[in-house]
């Protein structure tokens, strides 16, 4: 009999201490200040004078092993074999030798990976799986991100904005990208309830499980032409696709009805103003692959109007707070409609409950 090795379980993640570059291990907790030297490059200076240069590099996030090995090779050549990734999917190469910075830049740029994303710029988009991997997707994720960032790449490689601008995308309202506090959020939406394939539902799904999967209790058992199936109360459905997750006989995706919505003005940082949610700007744009031109131009328009109109330090939400929502809609030319007015619990809190009004000429 073959010898069976004992199974290894519950070891947890590798201890990060084994991965720290020596200069970081040595100056852990002893950093004094940092400076941004040029777009995408910063230096951190320690109390004892040691310096570490960081080059931040854009990545498509969806990576082949070739590219990860390329990163590893760059790390070996210039960074003593160490590197890190950021919370927004960029790669950071850290070196103690300033002369390595242009070399790293050259290598990654030759491979088509931009350097930037530090300071008052647009960094990489947090995003989700889309058609590459998820069953609930109302749109693709990687494709829109690529098209939007192609349009905004000039703001990744420069620091020419009034403040930081964080853009994120989630391909359905489950929001694996948790986009709800972004300066600009792109959110995939289904607009039709699931279609019910009565003929196969009972054969491939467990009806009690299907009913209980619906967060709004919109699904009820029923009988159709003598076969057990379910009913969906359409007014109660908020298109979350949970039912499809447990039952493939309830497809929800619909090429004509699916698309994206755009939200603005959220932030998570506490600097100056408090963290806040993104608010609805554009309720629906149809899916137009491969490059979603209506989405990219809508995002670029918002960025451009903000960039020209905002004061220094104003994130998109801070800017809107100062000029007021009427002027936001006026300046961006985005149409305001019924969808913009909240009708969920506590909706009243979002109504304008004051006579302080900025008068906008709508004609």
Q: Enumerate residues 245-304 that contact ligand HEM by CB under 6 A.
A: 245, 268-269, 271
- Choose the contact partner of 214 out of ligand HEM, another protein, ligand SF4, none; CB within 5 to 8 A by kind: ligand SF4
Please, what is the Cα angle at 53 between 47 and 58, to 5 degrees? Answer: 140
Exactly one of 27, 59, 95, 129 binds ligand HEM (CB under 6 A); which one? 129
Exactly one of 51, 60, 131, 174 binds ligand HEM (CB under 6 A); which one? 174
Please, what is the Cα angle at 103 between 98 and 109, to 5 degrees? Answer: 130
Q: Residue 276: what are its φ and ψ, rounded to 5°? A: -155, 165
Instruction: Give every CB contact of residue 355 below 8 A, 6+ residues apart in sequence.
Output: none
Q: What is the dihedral of CA 296, 59, 156, 129, to 10 degrees?
A: 30
For residues 174 to 213, the per-residue mask of contacts with another protein, x marking binding by CB under 8 A and - elsewhere, is xxxxx-xx--------------------------------
Q: Shortest Cβ distance from residue 136 to ligand HEM (Å)?
A: 6
Strand partners, 93: 55
- Choose the contact partner of 117 out of another protein, ligand HEM, ligand SF4, none; CB within 5 to 8 A by kind: ligand HEM
Instruction: Give every CB contact of residue 245 below 8 A, 6+ residues apart in sequence.
Output: 135, 136, 213
For residues 113 to 152, the per-residue mask of contacts with ligand SF4, x marking binding by CB under 6 A and - elsewhere, is ---------------xx----x-xx---------------
* Closest CB to another protein among residues 50, 330: 50
How many residues would you count in the chain? 363
Instruction: Give every CB contact of residue 135 below 8 A, 6+ residues apart in sequence.
Output: 241, 244, 245
Q: What is the dihedral of CA 7, 133, 190, 179, to 10 degrees?
A: 70
State the pairing for strand pair 167-170/184-189: parallel
Size of the site for ligand SF4 (CB under 6 A): 27
3-state SS class at 104: helix
Q: Name residues contacting another protein, limited to 297-326 (CB under 8 A).
A: 312-313
Q: Which residues bind ligand HEM (CB under 6 A)?
A: 34, 86-88, 90, 117, 123-124, 126, 129, 133-136, 166, 174-176, 178, 245, 268-269, 271
Q: Which residues bind ligand SF4 (CB under 6 A)?
A: 128-129, 134, 136-137, 170-172, 174-176, 193-194, 213-214, 216, 218-219, 232, 237-243, 252
């Amino acid at each position: 009999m073959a010898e069976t090795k004992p199974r290894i379980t519950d070891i947890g993640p590798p201890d990060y201490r084994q991965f720290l570059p020596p200069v970081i291990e040595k100056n852990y907790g002893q950093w004094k200040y940092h400076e941004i030297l040029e777009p995408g490059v910063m230096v951190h200076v320690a109390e004892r004078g040691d310096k570490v240069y960081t080059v931040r590099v854009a990545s498509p996030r969806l990576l082949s092993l070739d590219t990860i090995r390329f990163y590893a090779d760059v790390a070996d050549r210039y960074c003593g074999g160490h590197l890190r990734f950021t919370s927004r999917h960029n790669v950071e190469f850290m070196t103690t030798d300033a002369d390595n910075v242009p070399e790293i830049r050259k290598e990654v740029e030759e491979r088509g990976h931009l350097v930037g994303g530090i300071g008052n710029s647009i960094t990489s988009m947090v995003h989700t799986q889309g058609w590459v991997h998820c069953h609930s997707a109302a749109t693709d994720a990687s494709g829109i991100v690529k098209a939007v960032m192609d349009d905004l790449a000039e703001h990744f490689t420069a620091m020419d904005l009034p403040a930081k601008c964080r853009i994120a995308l989630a391909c359905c309202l489950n929001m694996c990208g948790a986009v709800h506090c972004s300066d600009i959020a792109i959110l995939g939406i289904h607009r039709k309830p699931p279609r019910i394939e009565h003929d196969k539902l009972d054969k491939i799904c467990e009806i009690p499980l299907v009913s209980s999967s619906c967060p709004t209790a919109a699904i009820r058992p029923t009988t159709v032409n003598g076969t057990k199936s379910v009913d969906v109360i359409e007014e109660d459905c908020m298109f979350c696709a949970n039912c499809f997750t447990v039952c493939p006989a309830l497809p929800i995706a619909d090429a004509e009805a699916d698309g994206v919505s755009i939200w603005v003005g959220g932030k998570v940082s506490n600097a100056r103003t408090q963290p806040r949610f993104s608010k609805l700007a554009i309720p629906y744009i149809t899916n137009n692959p491969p490059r979603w031109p209506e989405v990219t131009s809508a995002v670029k328009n918002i960025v451009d109007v903000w960039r020209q109109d905002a004061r220094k330090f104003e994130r998109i939400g801070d800017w809107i707070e100062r000029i007021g929502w009427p002027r936001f809609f006026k300046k961006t030319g985005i149409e305001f409609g019924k969808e913009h007015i909240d009708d969920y619990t506590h909706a009243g809190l979002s109504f304008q409950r004051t006579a302080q009004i900025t008068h906008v000429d709508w004609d």
